[in-house]
Amino acid sequence: DTAVSQTPKYLVTQMGNDKSIKCEQNLGHDTMYWYKQDSKKFLKIMFSYNNKELIINETVPNRFSPKSPDKAHLNLHINSLELGDSAVYFCASSRSGTSGNNEQFFGPGTRLTVL
């Protein structure tokens, strides 16, 4: 059983398009995250959601918008794609809470290429 799944695995699109990446977790976790990993492999937090509320919104462009229909899903919508958006996007989930070992479980990643 896949704990954290993402679709699609690969996404190739033109500049200016709008695209979505879906994420689902079956671990019963309350908190979900989106990360961007650039070509230099630097993993950077973009958003986190706890019980359908955005709790951290890092300084990402407002072209990126997370949407959570329920606590098992956190989708990422990207408008007006730019070349610099090309990266691998990882979804992750964890138990809620800000203490203890609430390790994060990562999805397989979505490799986005903007042409």
Partner 1 sequence: GQNIDQPTEMTATEGAIVQINCTYQTSGFNGLFWYQQHAGEAPTFLSYNVLDGLEEKGRFSSFLSRSKGYSYLLLKELQMKDSASYLCAVRKSGYSTLTFGKGTMLLVSP
Positions that interact with partner 1 (CB under 8 A):
31, 33, 40-45, 48, 50, 55-56, 90, 94, 96-99, 101-109
Nearer to partner 1 among residue 15 and residue 43 (C-beta): 43
- In this structure, the number of other CB atoms found within 10 A of the CB of residue 34 comes to 24
Q: Which lies closer to partner 1 via its Cβ, residue 79 or residue 95?
A: 95
Residue found under tokens 């019980």: 51
Is the Cβ–Cβ distance between 56 and 11 less than 8 Å?
A: no
What minimum distance in Å lies between the beta carbon of 98 and partner 1? 5
> From CA 66, how far away is CA 31, in angstroms rounded?
13
* Tokens 């709008």 belong to residue: 18
* Nearest approach, Cβ of residue 93 and partner 1 (Å): 11
Closer to partner 1 by CB, 78 or 90: give it.
Answer: 90
Q: Which pair of structure tokens corresponds to residue 97?
A: 């809470």
If the CB atoms of residues 70 and 103 are measured against partner 1, the closer one turns out to be: 103
Instruction: Kindly state the smallest distance separating residue 50's Cβ from partner 1, in Å.
Output: 7
What's the min distance (Å) between Cβ of 62 and partner 1? Answer: 19
Q: Is 14 exposed, middle or buried (0-12, 13-18, 19+ CB in 10 A)?
A: exposed
